[in-house]
Structure 1
Amino acid sequence: MEHKKYSNLNQHYIAGKWLEGHSDKIIKNSNPYNQELIFELKAASTEDVDCAYQAASDSFTTWSVTSPAERKNLTLKVAEIIQVRREEIIDWLIQESGSTRLKANLEVDATLNIIQEAATFPHRVMDSKLKSQDPERRSWVYRQALGVIAVISPWNFPLHLSMRSVAAAIALGNTVVLKPATDTPVTGGILLAKIFEEAGLPAGVLNVVAGSGSEIGDHFVEHKVPKLISFTGSTQVGQRVGQLAVGGKYLKRIALELGGNAPLVILDDADLDLAVELTVMGRFLHQGQICMSTNRVIVDASIYQAYVDKLVKRTQSIVVGDPNKADTLIGPIINQAQVEKIKKIIQQAEQDGAKLIVQSEIKGNVIPPHIFVDVDPNSSLSKDESFGPVLPIIQAKDEAHALQLANDTHFGLSSAVCTADYERGVAFALKIDAGMTHINAITVVDQANAPFGGEKNSGLGRFNGQWILEEFTRTHWITVPKDQ
């Protein structure tokens, strides 16, 4: 069936209407590969945020009491629309977020999975009867929609990481105000509004405001209306969000998914060909701009050189450049500021004595693989999240040393272990202080029904499945006289 592509995507969506923002600031939406201007968008102001929250608050009264069947059917309709518009959405992910075609397809698949999971939520919200300690009273616990949920999403997986919170919140009877990243206002926000509008979502249930963090960020978090702030992004900004949400005038819940420093640990019995493939995909998918991306590889000394030799040879076949080509693995970094940050990471690593064994010329926003050996575990290259195609390889004396190195970080999001012995791998994984560990798989794994989240400075709370269902609802204990 033919359908018209979405148009007029340079507006905000508030109370079911498409509006221009009221800020003096202009968001320039540009293609990160060729730097061509896609469009300009008048940014949202604090007044626009107020209107969005008012719309969400007003609509909560009616949306929260809609039937589970209605919310389920609407959620499934959203999935159906995405399937129909798949190529249109993929094109937007490529041109706006710099996604390679491979990554864009993976992101749409992940988005569909998260929506299918959310569609089960309306019928999974159960009230429960408790055994009352008072023989004269009956005791019940009701689970209800939480209220207005504020969502702040990042630019790296904009569609998926916005939808992860938005679809779950709406399916559970909440209403939403979404603030996408200014680098990806369409794929992180405006497209979602178009899709939900097409699906028949009532006005005010979802509102999208794209604006500068310096202008509306604090106001967005501190506002009295939202009951929960769902934030995905850097640890530095996430800490600020947490301080404002918990320490401000209006106390509210937070769900934070922050940065990572994921280790891939290669034990002495590992299949080296597998280890190399896990390294390449785990580090270089989406240019390393993933919170779960393999930020460092820890290799047992007995196989270190053999692994390095195989990895260097494998990197020669990595296709770098145009994200629209089907075989490209590494496309552009999101913007010039990030490029400069990664350049400084490379320069600092060399100054610290790490040996750069794989490199190529940086062209525009495209950074080819940069791989370092002889890396000091205490260096910034090892300690900090690079969020780019830069890989340190660290030598471990033995398994115990590898575990020590894996845990020597302020982060604790994802991790992976490569070994021929699955039981050994699981035993090792359980000692890693992280929210997620994968045996003989890449660190970048996300399943819609599995708990997603980290320890330490990688965040608070869990997304996906039963875990986000509990985050986005509240419990209400009610007792009644036994004879009534």
Structure 2
Amino acid sequence: MPEIDTNEFVEPDDLRIWNKYTGELIGTLEQDTVEQAAAKLEVAASAAPSAAQIPRHRRADILNTAAESLQTHADEVAELIVAEAGKTIRQARKEVSRAANTLKLSANAALDNPGEVIAFDTFPGAEGRRGWYTREPLGLVVAITPYNDALNLVAHKLGPAIAAGNSVVLKPSQQTPLTAQFLVDILLRSGLPEQAIQVVRGNRDVVRMLVSSRKVRMVSFTGGFATGEAIAKLAGIKRLSMELGGNAPVLVFDDADLTQAAEACASGGFWAAGQNCIGAQRILVDKSVFFPFLQELVTVTKHLEVGDPRLEKTDIGPMISTSAAIGARRSIDEAVKAGARLISGGEQKESLLSPAILIKVPRTCRLWKEEVFAPVVLLEPFESEAEAVAAANDSEYSLQAGLFTSDINRAFRVAESIEAGGVMINDSSDFRLDSMPFGGAKYGSMGREGVRFTVEEMTQPKVVAIAGQ
């Protein structure tokens, strides 16, 4: 049987949630047994027909009311994100604002895209027919969410699922279940029927049961590649949508504004302590401006405040755990031992890791080949545009990329050549609008998020045709 990554599904008897900076216990939740989780799945599956019958205007009302409630409780939930996920207070506020917008976009989507009329007279012999297709809910969706955007990524699954008329079983990250439950409670208070959404917390056996159930019509998963592969092998014949991370390249050409590029790359590489699937990781720089850009980046980075995420001045808070920070530091040490040079940062103390900049990282190292998911960036020079594009595409995983240039023709040419789900011009890879299509382009690319596109993933067309007389 495929193995589920233990880093994503820890297995204590009682789920204890710790403040990621202070280490204080902030909550204890009971985990579901396989039998309890199966009972919840049965409730949600039984509720799927009634969820589909909720009028579109009512779905929109529920989602808009939830968005307003989330904004009303913005300070409370932001403080919870800081404690549970370790984001800085400024980053947490932004996530709350985005999650509210995601719910509003979902409300709009509930009223949109009902289907369209089919022109049957496009083929001889069908001229007398009239008909249309509608977009119908799939039924029961299992949504599995990560810790790094503990509120907004839950909203990105629940909002479209509700808009589409599905019922949902939510399996939130074991490390950030309180934030997920906060959003679910808001949706229930906003009028969502209790049976239509069930929250499950449990170990790997619970996850296996959920994703392999024949009652489930879709599994929507955001997380790591190893777990995504295991889910795909277990799921059987059902729809899968997965966002499995990346290894984002950013290209800096010789005609770029180096200050702008350095500031964007520092933000893109170190936001949320680097725990960001589209965060800048491999920064490829034209050799003629390599050292000036490196100096700009080091200067910007040294002004970043690392520490208590509750403080307004803090730019980089803790990683999700001390073990995650130790693992990132170990990857740095492996690269240095293989010949890389650590230019600045990389100091690790408990769950804190200061932003690290490395050069001369061998392509055999994990820092080059894999998603680092930590405040670590590596720089490499290139001699030609073709070499830069080849280096950018030198990864099995591809989600987004960025490039900096003042030449519009080069910008278009390179954007078309980079293999990624999105290319940001004159920005780092770390930009996402919650309404845009979002997903990968290489191994592990399955479906698209972005509210309207997720609703399409979570529905299926149904044709009605009337034969002429």
TM-score interval, smaller chain: over 0.9
Q: 2:119 aligns with which of 131, 138, 151?
A: 131
**Aligned position for 2:448:** 462
* Residue identity (%): 31
| Larger CA deviation: 129-138 vs 410-419 | 129-138
**Aligned position for 1:33:** 21
Question: Structure 2: 5+ residue runs without aligned partners?
Answer: 1-10
Q: TM-score, length-normalised on structure 1?
A: 0.91
After superposition, residues 263-342 of structure 1 pair within 5 angstroms as 263-342=249-328
Asked whether the 8 Å contact 1:376–1:394 carries over to 2, the reply is: no
**In 2, Cα distance between equivalents of 1:431 and 1:424:** 10
Q: 2:352 aligns with which of 360, 366, 369?
A: 366
Residue 430 of structure 1 aligns to a residue whose secondary structure is helix
Q: 2:212 aligns with which of 207, 222, 245?
A: 222
Asked whether the 8 Å contact 2:95–2:151 carries over to 1, the reply is: yes
**In 2, Cα distance between equivalents of 1:315 and 1:129:** 55
Asked whether the 8 Å contact 1:267–1:418 carries over to 2, the reply is: yes
Q: 2:166 aligns with which of 160, 163, 174?
A: 174
**In 2, Cα distance between equivalents of 1:279 and 1:194:** 37
After superposition, residues 48-447 of structure 1 pair within 5 angstroms as 48-132=36-120, 133=123, 134-135=126-127, 137-187=129-179, 189-212=180-203, 214-245=204-235, 248=236, 251-359=237-345, 361-447=347-433
**In 2, Cα distance between equivalents of 1:24 and 1:350:** 35
**In 1, Cα distance between equivalents of 2:419 and 2:78:** 35
Amino acid at match of 2:454: I
Residue 387 of structure 1 aligns to a residue whose secondary structure is coil
**Aligned position for 2:33:** 45
Displacement of 1:140: 2.8
**In 1, Cα distance between equivalents of 2:243 and 2:16:** 27
**In 2, Cα distance between equivalents of 1:63 and 1:380:** 45
Cα distance per residue 1:430-458 (max 9 Å; x no partner): 11000011011121211122101011135
Residue 459 of structure 1 aligns to a residue whose secondary structure is coil
Residue 342 of structure 1 aligns to a residue whose secondary structure is helix
Cα distance per residue 1:206-232 (max 9 Å; x no partner): 1111122x2311111001211110000
Residue 381 of structure 2 aligns to a residue whose secondary structure is strand
Question: Structure 1: 5+ residue runs without aligned partners?
Answer: 1-22
Asked whether the 8 Å contact 2:71–2:97 carries over to 1, the reply is: no
**Aligned position for 1:14:** none
Asked whether the 8 Å contact 1:286–1:331 carries over to 2, the reply is: yes
Cα distance per residue 1:110-165 (max 9 Å; x no partner): 21221111111122132323233434543432211111111000000011111101
Amino acid at match of 2:76: E
Displacement of 1:316: 1.6
Q: Tell me how large the CA RMSD over aligned residues is.
A: 1.5
Displacement of 1:253: 0.1
Residue 278 of structure 2 aligns to a residue whose secondary structure is coil
Asked whether the 8 Å contact 1:262–1:443 carries over to 2, the reply is: yes
The structure-2 alpha-carbon separation of the partners of 1:319 and 1:458, relative to structure 1 and needing over 3 Å to count, comes to farther
